[in-house]
Amino acid sequence: MEYPGRSLLVACLLASSVCSGSLPPIPKENLLVVTVATGETDGFQRFMQSANYFNYTVKVLGLGSDWRGGDVGTSIGGGQKVRLLKEALEVLDLKDMVVLVVDSYDLIFSGGPEELLSKFQQTNHRVVFAAEGLVWPDKRLAEKYPSVRSGKRFLNSGGIMGYGTSIKEMVGQWNLHDNDDDQLFYTKIYLDFQQREGLNMTLDHKCQIFQNLNGAIDEVMLNFGTDRVRVRNAVYDSLPVVVHGNRKSKIYLNYLANYVPNAWNNEQACTICDHNMLDLSQLEAFPEVLLGVFIEQPSPFLPEFFQRLLTLDYPREKLSLFLHNQEVLHEKHIEKFWTEQRHHFKSFKVVGPEENLSQGDARNMGMDLCRKDSSCGYYFSIDSDVMLTNRQTLKILIEQNRKVIAPLVTRHGKLWSNFWGSLSLDGYYARSEDYIDIVQGKRIGVWNVPFLATSTWSRVPP
């Protein structure tokens, strides 16, 4: 049944500032999105994909220049971002403009410009920063922060939104070095009462606009719609527009970005999986693949496991094998396999239990073999308790044309079972923080490997 006022009600829900009767909405054309990216990393492409989906216009600063802002993933730095922003704003006409400044390697959009502008207006401040529950980089500043009754207390500079003239005034104060810390710079301004009032600054304490994921993973969930997926903060009952994998939450952002904003939906399943595929038939030769096989525990049906491995549809002379066996009881199976099959592979290396290698060292050794061999195009890691049920697995994986595909690393709390990737020079596997380096900024697709069945792996949706 239709009733009068229904459509007005819907419009009010979408942009409640219109309904509060206070201010006219800010036109979309007045929004300027700015980010700094020195290279078009996978993370950057993911950011742009989400921006394009919502028709954001993004101004990218610094492309092609050298990064001199330090290693922001693990230590302080990032000042170069502020310098480039300051330089850019100096020459722009900012009258009536609203500027959104965001990171791009570790950030995606989950909502569109109208919603963003409306939520910004509702803050009733001229400058709004993202907020987080953990203070960084200087813990000693924690007590200087104004206390909040509920919500996140500390500033995060991965997301800043404000009227252009105010943002310009704020970053105009920058006179530090490129490797000084951007977040510390903004924090000091915010903690200065005069400046905070003068610039009319606030933090987005309840994640209406910005969701920082570090320390907040338990607060967020995915909301599946018919054609879109959103991140919802269940603590503040909000639908943040910007989602940021700050600090150690980058893997979790990778996981969310497997769905948000429309990478996966209930109707079409994965909508981006067939983007940028590789056509194997167009290659002159099949690339070489190193298979890393890990027998880290007694495994029933090991001979059957080997049989399945041999049925892989791939030119045998392009396959090398690295096998780590931790179990004395399996030595006879491996001996037989090795005797019968080693000549059919390009190379075949076994590391047995007598080497007393830890699991992590063994996995690193497998990857290193590939990394140090320039003819090794891809690395495929499989555990002996995994059943390979599709003979085309290698070909399909190569056709996906992704840097890293790992079905299990995206599962919270469960880091490792199978791993596939054409290795770049920047990643090592270890069950430590190094692990983040492997996947940082790279796309991981659970959907990419629907043909690997393991005892522990389950498919989307989560």
Ligand X SMILES: *[C@@H]1O[C@H](CO)[C@@H](O)[C@H](O)[C@H]1NC(C)=O
- For Mn ion, the binding residues (CB under 5 A) are 103, 106, 158, 246
Residue 279 makes contact with ligand X by CB under 6 A? no
Looking at 38-46, 123-131, 134-142, 359-367, which segment touches ligand X (CB under 6 A)? 123-131
The residue (of 152 and 247) whose beta carbon lies closer to ligand X is 152
Residue 112 makes contact with ligand X by CB under 6 A? yes
How many of the chain's residues bind ligand X (CB under 6 A)?
9
Residue 54 contact, options Mn ion, ligand X, none, Cβ 5-8 Å cut-off depending on partner type? ligand X
Within positions 49 to 78, which residues make up the interface with ligand X, using CB under 6 A?
54-55
Looking at 71-79, 124-132, 172-180, 338-346, which segment touches ligand X (CB under 6 A)? 124-132
Residue 55 contact, options ligand X, Mn ion, none, Cβ 5-8 Å cut-off depending on partner type? ligand X
Residue 158 contact, options Mn ion, ligand X, none, Cβ 5-8 Å cut-off depending on partner type? Mn ion
Q: Which of 83, 119, 125, 168 binds ligand X (CB under 6 A)?
A: 125
Mark 199-238 with x for binding to ligand X (rule: CB under 6 A) and - for no binding. -x--------------------------------------
Closest distance to ligand X from the beta carbon of 121 (Å): 10
The residue (of 28 and 371) whose beta carbon lies closer to ligand X is 28
Residue 197 contact, options Mn ion, ligand X, none, Cβ 5-8 Å cut-off depending on partner type? ligand X
Closest distance to Mn ion from the beta carbon of 59 (Å): 18
Residue 168 makes contact with ligand X by CB under 6 A? no
Residue 443 contact, options ligand X, Mn ion, none, Cβ 5-8 Å cut-off depending on partner type? none
Residue 339 makes contact with ligand X by CB under 6 A? no
Residue 233 contact, options ligand X, Mn ion, none, Cβ 5-8 Å cut-off depending on partner type? none
3-class SS string, the chain: CCCCCHHHHHHHHHCHHHHHCCCCCCCHHHEEEEEECCCCCHHHHHHHHHHHHCCCCEEEECCCCCCCCCCCCCCCCEHHHHHHHHHHHHCCCCCCCEEEEECCCCEEECCCHHHHHHHHHHHCCCEEEEEECCCCCCHHHHHHCCCCCCCCCEEEEEEEEEEHHHHHHHHCCCCCCCCCEHHHHHHHHHHCHHHHHHCCEEEECCCCCEEECCCCHHHEEEEECCCCEEEEECCCCECCCEEECCHHHHHHHHHHHCCCCCCEECCCEECCCCCCCCCHHHCCCCCEEEEEEEECCCCCCHHHHHHHHHCCCCCHHHEEEEEEECCHHHHHHHHHHHHHHHHHCCEEEEECHHHCCCHHHHHHHHHHHHHCCCCEEEEEEEECCEEECCCCHHHHHHHHCCCEECCCCCCCCCCCCCEEECCCCCCCCCCCCHHHHHHCCCCCCHHHCCCEEECCCCCCCC
Closest distance to ligand X from the beta carbon of 112 (Å): 6
Residue 279 contact, options ligand X, Mn ion, none, Cβ 5-8 Å cut-off depending on partner type? none
Tokens found for residue 344 = 């059919």
Interface residues with ligand X (CB under 6 A) are 54-55, 112, 124-126, 197, 200, 356
